[in-house]
Amino acid sequence: MDVSALRQELGLSLGEFAAKVGLTSRGHMSEIERGLTQPSVRVAIEIEKLSAGRLPAASLNDDVALIENFRGLQ
């Protein structure tokens, strides 16, 4: 699953989805969907919540992945 598929599954427009994850720019949301930019940690976590965990924040943001990997080493 990717961000675009999640948005479509939820039946949300780009603007509606952006608002649900805390973004004010449809353009920025479009860039995230197309893989041109990573969402912030906060937005990645909100996307994970909307997906009920099916789209992990760590798969969307390298910093989240780094933190999760670090925690796994302890």
> How many percent of the chain have pLDDT more than 90?
89
What Å distances lie between residue 49 and 21, 34, 42, 73, 74, CA to CA? 9, 20, 11, 25, 25
List Cα–Cα distances, 26 to 17, 33, 42, 66, in angstroms: 9, 10, 17, 27
Q: At residue 74, does pLDDT exceed 70?
A: no
Q: What is the pLDDT of residues 60-71, one digit of tens each?
A: 999 999 998 888
Q: What is the mean pLDDT of residues 23-52?
A: 97
Global pTM value? 0.91
Task: Please name the residues in contact with 32: beta carbons below 8 A apart, sequence gap of 6 or more.
Answer: 3, 38, 39, 43, 60
